[in-house]
Structure 1
C-alpha cells in the first residue's frame, strides 16, 4: 500500500505539447508562480494563478495556473509558495513513448503464448491456459480456447469487453494512422502491417473461437469457475476452463467487431478479412433468429466476472452499422434505421452500452452514403452530448467531465471514454474546445488530479505501483507491468481495502494504491483501449 502523501501542486507528469494549452492545479489558494528549468532552477516563465474555486469532487479549493505562453521545449517544474511540482517536459511530441507503452500493454495481457524476455523483459512468463475449454452444460463437448487477451487483473476472457477493446484500437488506427508508425516491437512485427493490427489480430483470432460453430452465436465468456488467488501466475492457473452460454450481447459485439475487422484488414490480408466477414454475417443471422433473448447471468456455480447486460439493442445497432459500413448492403442499413428508432443510449462507449460505436460507424460512413436525415440527427446528438460534457468540464477543478457521482468503479474508463467522445465531436463539429477538453482528460490521467498519481503504471514521476493484477503481484518483480491504466477513484468503496482506508474521503480521493483494492486499482484491456485512442490524437 502506498503511504506517500500527495502533493497539492499537480501537473501532467509526462508533459505538454509545445503548441497547446498548458496549466497546472494547486489544491488551495494560489498566487504568483514560476515555471523553472528542472536542471538549473532558472525561471522560464512567471504568472499568477486564477482565484481558487471549491471543487466538489475533490473536496478542496483548486487554483489553476496557466503557462500556455511557454512553448520552448525542455524539462521543467512549477514552483509556487515554496513547493515544486513533479518534473515534466514541453515537447513537440511528448506522448509518443506513452502511446507505445499503452499499446504494448496488450502484449502483456496475451494468453496462450510464452511472453519471451526479448519482448517482455523482466515480465516474461511461460505460455498459459492451453487446455481445451468445456462448453458449460455439455461436459463432453470441448473446444480450442487458447489465445486472446486476459481481460483484467484476472485471467478470464470475455467476448463483449474484448470487442470493445479491439474496436477502440481499430478506430484509433483508422483515424490516427500516423500515431502507429513506430514499431512496438512485437514478435509479429514485419515492417509492413502496423503493430496495432498484429496485436488486434491476436485477440480477433481468439474471438473467432468464441463463435459457436453449431449456431453462429457467440459464447459470452471463457473462464474458470472461480478466480485464482491473487499471486498465481497465469501458467500456474490450471483449473478447468468453461465456455459460458451464448448471449445476444456477446453475439452483437462479435458481429460488429468482425465486420469492422473485415474492412480494416482488407488491405493487409484478404483471406483473413473474408473469414471475419463470414463470421460477422453468421452472427447476424443468429441475432435475426433470436429477436428476444434474456440477458446473461452467471450460473450458480460460476464466480468470475459476469458482465451481465440485459439490454442488447445497442449491440444489435452497432452490428448493423458496421455490417452496413463494410458491405454497403441495404438490408443492414434498413436494420440500422429501425434500431435507431428504439430508445437506448446512442452515445455511450462502455462495455455494457455500446451504442456510440454504432452511431460513430454510421457517421464515419459519411453523409453521401447514409440517410441524410438520420445522419444529421446523429451528428446533432453527438455534438449536444459533447456540449454537455464541456459544461461539466467548466465546473470541475481539474477540467474533466466527471461529476461527483461519476467516480464509480472504473472511473478512469469513463474519463477516457468521454475524452474519446469529445475528440469525435471535434472531428465532426470542429470546435477546438472539444479537443482542448480531451487533452485535459489526458492531463488528469497522468497526474493532474486530486491525488497527484499517474494512473498509468511505469509512466510519470509518481505512477501507481501496486495494481490489482495477478502477474504484477505474482512475478516477484518490484515494478508492475508497465503501461496499464488502472481503474481510479471509486466513491462506492466496493472492496474491503477501500472500505477500511477511505471512509469519508471526497469522491475524487477515493483511491488507494494497494493490490487488494480490486474496485479501484485493477486494470483491464478496455480501460487501456480508450486511452490508446485518445493519446493517438495527440501523437505526431
Structure 2
C-alpha cells in the first residue's frame, strides 16, 4: 500500500476561487506564514496566523491562516515559520469544474445492467451485469425484471431509498444551479437537448419504476443477492441469484416523492416520461394511504446485504405529500402535509439523509409556488434557518471550519459534511441572502484536503487523494488508479470493521480513517455520498 505523507499545513488541494475566503489550517503552531510560488519557491505574500486553539474532533492544537485577500491566479504552497508546508494548490475561478464533472460522472460508473465502453469509461470498463430477473422474496414463483439503475455503493446492491436521496440531490442541484451542468459529461446519452445530469438520473428513475409492484403500487425495498461477493469481484462476475426484498413503506414514500419531483423536472424535455413518473407517484401514494401503519423494514432471514432499515416512515410520507403538492397543487396532498410534518418532527424536519428524508419535504413545501398554510410555512422557514445557524455556530468553533460535532464522525461522516453544506446553501436560498455560503464552502475545502487526515476524500482529485476505496470495480478491474470522482465515507469513530478495530483504536474522531479497501466502514463509496457533494460544488462552479 502506498503511504502518503501528511503535511503540517492543511489546504484545499484543488485550490480556491480568487474572491472566496481562503483559510489554511496550521497544526501545532501559529505566528507568521507565507505563500510561495510552487515552481520558484519565492515568497509572494505573508500573513499572521490566528491564535492556537484545541480542536476536540481532530485531537490537535491548530491555528488558522487566513489569506482571503490574496487573489492572484497561480499555483502555490503555504509555508510556516518552522518550515512546515502544505500541498500545492491553485487559485483560479475554474478550480472546481473538473472535480464537479468527475463526481457527477461517477454515477455513470455506478450503472448496472449495461456495458461500460471505453469511449465513455476510459480504462474503467466492464461488461453488462445483473440482467437476470429477480426472485421476489417470499414468493419464489414471482419474478421482477428490474435491470438497470445504479449500484448503491462499494457493492452491487440497489436500494430505492438511498437511490431516491441521490436523485433528489441531483435534481435539486440542476434546478437551482443549471449553469453548473451546461457541459456534456461524455456519457452515452450526451449530445441531446436534455442536460446530461437529467439523462443520468433517468437511468436510475427507470430502474425505480421497475421496482414498483404492478399489483399494489408499493415499491420493493431493494434488489440484491443474498450476500455480498468477494471484494475483487467485477459486476459481470457477480452471477448469484438476485432477490427483491418485500415492499416497504420507507421505499414507497421515497419512490412517491422522487417520482413527483421527476415529473416536474422532466416535463420540459419529455412529457410522456414525466407523466409516467407522476402516475407512478400517485399509485405509490394510494398504497401509502391504504397502509397507514405499516411495519418498518427488516432484512428477510436469509438476506445479509445492506438493510437500510427504518423503524418509522413519517418522514418519507411527509416528503411524498410535499412533492406531490408542489407538482400537482391538489388540496388532498396539502391537507396531508401538516399532520405528517408533526409526526416527523420528533426526529427532525431538516435532515437530508436516507434514514430521515424530512428535509426534502420541508424544502419542497417552502419552494412550492402554491398556496401555503401561513403558520406552517413560517414555522418551517424559521426552523430551517435556526438549524443553519446552529451549524454555522459549530463551524465557527471547529478547528477545520466544518459543522460536525465529535460524536457525528460516524459511518459515512462525509455524507453528513456535504448534507450540512447542502442545507446551508438551501438556507441561503430560502432566506434570500448569502449569509451561510462561506460556511458551506469550508465543507468543500474539508472534502478536498482541509482536514486532519490531510487527504482529499475524492478519488483522482488533489495532491493526496484516496487511492484504495472500498469499491469492488476499482479493486477488481486491473487498473491501478481507482475510478475518479468517488467520495469516500470518511472518518468513523465507531470502529466498525476489523481493520479499523485493529489500526484506528484510540484515534480522535476526525482522524479515524484508513485509506485501505479493507476498511469499509471508513473508506467505502456510495451514490448518496457523491450526490450532496455534487450539489454543494454546483454552487461554486
**1:287 is paired with a residue of what secondary structure?**
helix
- The one of 348, 351, 356 equivalent to 1:353 is 356
Kindly provide the CA deviation profile for residues 411-452 of structure 1, in whole angstroms up to 9, marking residues without a partner as x: 000000011111111112245341000000000000000010
Q: Which residue of 2 aligns with 1:67?
A: 67
Q: Which residue of 1 aligns with 2:498?
A: 496
Kindly provide the CA deviation profile for residues 209-253 of structure 1, in whole angstroms up to 9, marking residues without a partner as x: 010001000000000000000010000000000010000000000
Q: Which residue of 1 aligns with 2:52?
A: 52
**1:122 is paired with a residue of what secondary structure?**
coil
Structure 1 residue 384 corresponds to structure 2 residue 386:
yes
Report the alpha carbon displacement of residue 44 of structure 1 after superposing the two structures with TM.
1.9
Q: Counterparts of 1:383 and 1:174 in 2: how far apart (Å)?
A: 21
Q: Counterparts of 1:501 and 1:341 in 2: how far apart (Å)?
A: 44
| Bigger mean CA offset, 343-352 vs 506-515 | 343-352
Structure 1 residue 179 corresponds to structure 2 residue 180:
yes
TM-score, structure 1 length as denominator? Answer: 0.98
Aligned pairs for 1:332-343 within 5 A? 332-342=333-343, 343=345
Aligned pairs for 1:10-409 within 5 A? 10-80=10-80, 81-342=82-343, 343-344=345-346, 345-366=348-369, 369-409=371-411
Q: Counterparts of 1:430 and 1:286 in 2: how far apart (Å)?
A: 37
Kindly provide the CA deviation profile for residues 142-193 of structure 1, in whole angstroms up to 9, marking residues without a partner as x: 1212100000000000000000000000000000001000111110012411
Q: Counterparts of 2:259 and 2:136 in 1: how far apart (Å)?
A: 22
- The one of 454, 457, 477 equivalent to 2:456 is 454
Does the aligned pair in 2 maintain the 1:7–1:451 contact within 8 Å? no
Does the aligned pair in 2 maintain the 1:2–1:514 contact within 8 Å? no
**2:287 is paired with a residue of what secondary structure?**
helix
Q: Counterparts of 1:429 and 1:93 in 2: how far apart (Å)?
A: 27
**1:142 is paired with a residue of what secondary structure?**
strand
Q: Which residue of 2 aligns with 1:483?
A: 485
Q: Counterparts of 1:148 and 1:230 in 2: how far apart (Å)?
A: 21
Q: Which residue of 2 aligns with 1:534?
A: 536
Report the alpha carbon displacement of residue 136 of structure 1 after superposing the two structures with TM.
0.6
Q: Counterparts of 2:456 and 2:220 in 1: how far apart (Å)?
A: 36
**2:122 is paired with a residue of what secondary structure?**
helix
Which ranges of structure 2 fall in alignment gaps of 5 or more residues?
Answer: none
Report the alpha carbon displacement of residue 376 of structure 1 after superposing the two structures with TM.
1.1
- The one of 499, 511, 514 equivalent to 2:513 is 511
**1:351 is paired with a residue of what secondary structure?**
coil
Q: Counterparts of 1:145 and 1:19 in 2: how far apart (Å)?
A: 48
Does the aligned pair in 2 maintain the 1:2–1:513 contact within 8 Å? no
Report the alpha carbon displacement of residue 83 of structure 1 after superposing the two structures with TM.
2.5
Q: Counterparts of 2:7 and 2:38 in 1: how far apart (Å)?
A: 17
**1:245 is paired with a residue of what secondary structure?**
coil
Kindly provide the CA deviation profile for residues 442-474 of structure 1, in whole angstroms up to 9, marking residues without a partner as x: 000000000101000000000000000000110
Report the alpha carbon displacement of residue 2 of structure 1 after superposing the two structures with TM.
4.8
| Bigger mean CA offset, 45-54 vs 184-193 | 184-193
Kindly provide the CA deviation profile for residues 282-317 of structure 1, in whole angstroms up to 9, marking residues without a partner as x: 000000000001100001111000000011000000
Q: Counterparts of 1:501 and 1:433 in 2: how far apart (Å)?
A: 40
Q: Counterparts of 1:432 and 1:45 in 2: how far apart (Å)?
A: 28
**1:119 is paired with a residue of what secondary structure?**
helix
Q: Counterparts of 1:19 and 1:122 in 2: how far apart (Å)?
A: 37
C-alpha RMSD of the superposition: 1.0
| Bigger mean CA offset, 413-422 vs 68-77 | 68-77
Misfit runs of 4+, over 3 Å: 430-433
Does the aligned pair in 1 maintain the 2:315–2:341 contact within 8 Å? no
Does the aligned pair in 1 maintain the 2:8–2:84 contact within 8 Å? no
Does the aligned pair in 2 maintain the 1:111–1:148 contact within 8 Å? yes
Report the alpha carbon displacement of residue 5 of structure 1 after superposing the two structures with TM.
3.3
Q: Counterparts of 1:457 and 1:87 in 2: how far apart (Å)?
A: 17
Report the number of matched residues: 538
Does the aligned pair in 2 maintain the 1:156–1:222 contact within 8 Å? yes
Which ranges of structure 1 fall in alignment gaps of 5 or more residues?
Answer: none
Does the aligned pair in 2 maintain the 1:86–1:461 contact within 8 Å? yes
Does the aligned pair in 1 maintain the 2:8–2:85 contact within 8 Å? no
**2:161 is paired with a residue of what secondary structure?**
helix
Q: Counterparts of 1:135 and 1:517 in 2: how far apart (Å)?
A: 32
Does the aligned pair in 2 maintain the 1:2–1:512 contact within 8 Å? no
- The one of 413, 419, 422 equivalent to 2:421 is 419
